[in-house]
Chain A
Amino acid sequence: MNAKTIQLTINGEARSVDVGAGESLLHLLRRIGFTGVKNGCDEGACGACTVILNGRTVNACLTFAFQAAGGRVETIEFLGNFENPHPLQKALADEGAVQCGYCIPGMILSAKALLDRKAAPTDEEWSLHLDGNLCRCTGYEKIQSALRKLVAAQGGDQ
């Protein structure tokens, strides 16, 4: 397989990386240390590998690394830290919405991509935008209530 160099921005940092022609963005990101991107099915059906590419969520497993060339990639590692978590990270943690946690980075990124566009999404909008993120632990109930509470706390204007 030919390796080629591409430029892309990962979590705000310009990077130059060698990628295989058939390499997935998931494989690339985990290979260079972004292990917050999880592999759950490798077939675009579970959303554990969700990242934000140019402002929109994609399944990194279904995205070829070359498709991200010149693009902006955001992974969970970009969102927050212990001292200053992203409001979504805090909301889900506080509400008991994080059980095994394996789906959570993808779930949070899907929620962030919506929240970046719309300040106070409705239940229906959350569900539509998070429909590609499977969770086997929570039944989604606590995730939904965390999102509702977050919107309410931010003075939802719907």
Chain B
Amino acid sequence: MSVFKDFVLPRSVDEARAALKQLGAEGMPVAGGTALSFLRHKEPKVAVDLSRAGLSGIAAENGGFEIGAMTSITALREFAAPGWVLDRVAHRFVTQQIRNQSTLGGNITRVFAWCDFPVALLALDASITIASDTPRAVDADEFFAGQPVRLLKAGELVRSIHVPAVRAGEGFGYRKHTRVEADFSQATAAARVKVEKGVITGARVALGASIPMPVRLPAVEQALVGRKGAIHVVNEAVALIGTRTWRSVAGFSQDYIRHLASVAVADAITDAWKAAVEGRA
């Protein structure tokens, strides 16, 4: 059975929202469309193609970056500016063809376990702007507290994502484990750490892929703050990841995935801490 029975090609956000409003449950916004094969529908839908709605682009503003929801992963990879780190996440994202076609908005609005960007956005303290009759911004913690699409009422769309720049004294770490470069992640970890005079004064740490939905790890973060960075500090913190529902990925056991997650988190924190100390983002 075909996924779609019809399509509309709106030329603006307003047109797209109007179409979705009118279609109700029948309508389905399509970003890059590369993950549609993972979805199962009982009935064919009407595709509302967002690619012409003017939602693509990256702008530096408000001490960070405003990223249009339809910005491709390739655009994230190619963008460069002080404090910009999403290129690292994009660099490890599937293949060139899919980086070209997939969008940031698509990757974060319907979250699959292996999605990478939610992990990074949680660590970076991003916020997500929703186009609506009552436009609003939702912080990443709330946005990813459940399947994000739950937050969107008929006719609402993710418009843009704001990512604060990684500033001096801060560092970002990102680790992703796969069998080959282009593969579903087995464990993705991201960390943003602030270091002042050798002491960690702020930390956001997130984990995904190894668990059903990406999460922040507040206990790990708290164990870092106020400490001088060192390997034993990282290891003590990582021990606080806690009991989770570990996935069994591609024939790898839950036991191994749990271990891999802890290594990924430790490495991401270590990378972030070193970057902060060494004055790199």
Which residues of A approach B to under 8 Å, CB–CB? 1-2, 4, 20-22, 43-45, 47, 50, 56-59, 62-64, 66-67, 69-70, 110, 128-132
Contact = CB atoms under 8 A, between A and B. Distances in A.
Contacts of B101: 56, 58-59, 62-63
Contacts, number: 86
Interface in B30-66: 30, 33-34, 37, 44, 46-47, 49, 51-52
B132 interface: no
A66 B100 contact: no
A45 B37 CA distance: 12
B9 interface: yes
A21 B37 CA distance: 15
Contact of B47 (A47, A64, A70): A64
B182 interface: yes
Interface string B149-185: 0000000000000000000000000000000011000
Interface of B: 2-7, 9, 30, 33-34, 37, 44, 46-47, 49, 51-52, 72, 74, 91, 94-98, 100-101, 181-182
A50 B97 contact: yes
A138 to B, nearest CB: 17
22 contacts: A1-B2, A2-B5, A4-B7, A21-B6, A21-B44, A21-B46, A22-B2, A22-B4, A45-B95, A47-B95, A56-B101, A57-B96, A62-B98, A63-B33, A66-B7, A67-B49, A69-B9, A69-B49, A110-B96, A110-B97, A128-B91, A132-B94
Contacts of A130: 96
Contacts of A70: 9, 52
B224 to A, nearest CB: 33
A130 B181 CA distance: 12
A45 B2 CA distance: 20
Contacts of A59: 34, 97-98, 101
B6 A2 contact: yes
Chain B's interface: helix, strand, loop or mixed, by majority?
mixed
Nearest to B72: A56
Nearest to B95: A132
A43 B34 CA distance: 9
Nearest to A66: B7
A63 B31 CA distance: 11
B182 A131 contact: yes
Closest 3 CB pairs of A and B: A22-B2, A132-B95, A56-B100
Nearest to B100: A56
A130 B95 CA distance: 8
A27 to B, nearest CB: 11
B92 to A, nearest CB: 11
Contact of A129 (B2, B72, B96): B96
Contacts of B7: 4, 21, 64, 66
Given A47-B97, A63-B33, A131-B95, A56 B74 contact: yes
Contacts of B181: 131
A13 to B, nearest CB: 21
Contacts of A22: 2-5, 44
A110 B74 CA distance: 14
B15 to A, nearest CB: 14
B29 to A, nearest CB: 13
A2 B5 CA distance: 6
A44 B47 contact: no
